[in-house]
Structure 1
Amino acid sequence: MAKTDLEFKDLTEQFLDEIIEARRHIHQHPELSYKEDDTAEFVISYLEKWDIPYERMIGTGVIVDIKGEKGDGLDIGVRADIDALPVNEQTDLPYESEHEGVMHACGHDAHTAILLGTVYLLNKRKKDMKGSVRCIFQPAEEVGAAKKMIEAGVLEHPHIDRIMALHLWPYVDLGKIGIKYDNITSSADNFSIKVKGEAGHSGRPHQAVDAIAIGAEIIKAFQFLVARWNNPVKPLVINVGQIDGGKAPNIISDEVNLHGTVRAVYKETRDAAEKRINKLVHTLAEEYGGKATIDYQRGYPAINNDEEWTKWVEKNASEVLGKDNVVKIKEPSMGADDFSAYSTNVPSTYFRLGVREDGKKTYDLHHPKFQFDDSVLETGMKVFTATVYNTLSKDE
């Protein structure tokens, strides 16, 4: 049974202020993927102050192993992403980004501070724990570095039995967390299509092969795939977000490039969509007298939340936050996260940390005005700490 009497006497006002200050420093000094040198050093400065050992991984990654003092047990992973986005911040906060064109617009500053505080809290409780917890400060989530972390051995020595992560979420109320069973995100694949035609004069289109027109037919056909081929209860998104082609208004273009993304919640939808898109692109281009090539890049799979592990997180969150502050998310997000690389290797759970406030406009993730109340840090630390502590200290 969980230790329902878990107390947080060390979550003092002074300690919370220290974690808030850390989060604001990270926010003010954001760094892009694989360039998080100062962020990693900042995290390390706290670990050294607290006399907590750490290791570096893939350059700017930092891992902390906290070993329980009651012997062998489960080995748990907790992950936070530390990179920022190429966004010009427009929040006017007193700790607004000092790096022009770079912003923590996805909440990774909060994720980092929450895990930093969790390290401190769990280290204080290690005398009651069996097994270990590996706290993973992961760089470059925005470009998929989880795979590199796994290749570097982040899930081994010891083998991680289960892993968890959180993400700020503007569609759940502040002070609450959102739990989702089964898949909580979609997969995310990208494609680049090059359509080749034959140039000509715009006044004599019958003597040319219009690559732009063929590209337009391909885009229209993608929506047919979504609306008429795909099972409507299994979400699929095909989006063309960039089109490059043409040289002048009176010249029929002989080349156009289409760049887009494909999102699917279920693996069978994802696999089938890739096959259909490849076939459609080639068939349509040839039918209209042109040719096409496609570079289809498989990205993140969907995050699948392990049922047993998710139930355990829900139980512990309900105990430390109150049942009313743990809500069930009904629908998966069509966004993606490279945490899915972990979830395909070990049982995992990924929950949402609410930031929505009544009476205030809440901006979405990746928006230049995205911001949140610092009280989310305490909520996240409590859920992480309670879940890990009650896992590693419970009687089997």
Structure 2
Amino acid sequence: MTTTSTAPATVVGKLSTLDRFLPVWIAAAMVAGLLAGRWIPGLEAGLNAVAIDGISLPIALGLLVMMYPVLAKVRYDRLDTVTRDRKLLLPSLILNWLVGPALMFALAWLLLPDLPEYRTGLIIVGLARCIAMVIIWNDLACGDREAAAVLVALNSVFQVIMFGVLGWFYLSVLPGWLGLETTSLAVSGWQIAKSVLIFLGIPLVAGYLSRRLGERGKGRDWYENRFLPKIGPIALYGLLFTIVILFALQGHQITSRPLDVARIALPLLAYFALMWAGSYLFGKVIGLSYERTTTLAFTAAGNNFELAIAVAIATFGVTSGQALAGVVGPLIEVPVLVALVYVSLALRRRFAQSTVERS
């Protein structure tokens, strides 16, 4: 993907056919998965026959394939420029671990006061900060790859430490203080750590080794101009495959309970819109570049649906309302964040104009 032009029309025009029509392919993948899950007997049982850390093996493989090419593009020798940027790191931590969970808690209670299972499922989604698909959205929107790698790694560390604590606080302590219904959440730190190690650790190590060995053997020019263009499309193939399998696994639940899905979708839509727009505006106000503002917005708005679904299933059961809420998460997140990729590309021109005016 070309990232040098500032005009959104030019950027979109230079995308590959796969990238340019991504919303079409994603919509087709979602429909194909839903129909397959609804109409193919025994498909769900077959896909769930083997699991990695509570996630179906095909989904796990799709996520690993999806993340590897993007992490192979990261210039790891530039990560120090991100780790020294407190203007980026501190807002990211605040948005992800204070604002995000609190916003989802408020929306869940405001819009689903009569549906405790779905409400709990959404709160769990809000606690699971994104470590996977956000890398794809950030890359498509021409965000800062190095910054995304650092923020995702930071989220991963905080996820291991804080997920259980925040789950206890938002499901038991805070509702008790407010006189609301309380819920317990049984999740171990090791369960979360395994999820992070598998879905981030493996592709991160593979991406790092690819760049290090590739540049050492044939140089940076060959690596970035010959090797990366060949493996680049694999990320989107992995994304589409993951979406098909994910929706195939939950096709029956989603299509048989449309009103419930609609009720769950409303707070999710509000959450993604408010988190992305608020984070984007905040990045602009504090003077971040377009690339880092985009990265801040997507890392704050995205959620780790793999972890949320796994925790909901492990704690409440595969047919529970909490699990359904987790499944509806990517059903809403995927098309919304794809749309926000195009919004972000359209906003590049404003950043370029403001930069010229300041100079």
Highest RCO, 1 vs 2 (Cα 8 Å, sep ≥ 6):
2
By percentage of residues, which structure has more helix?
A: 2
Give the TM-score of the pair, scaled to structure 2.
0.28
By percentage of residues, which structure has more strand?
A: 1
Larger Rg: 1
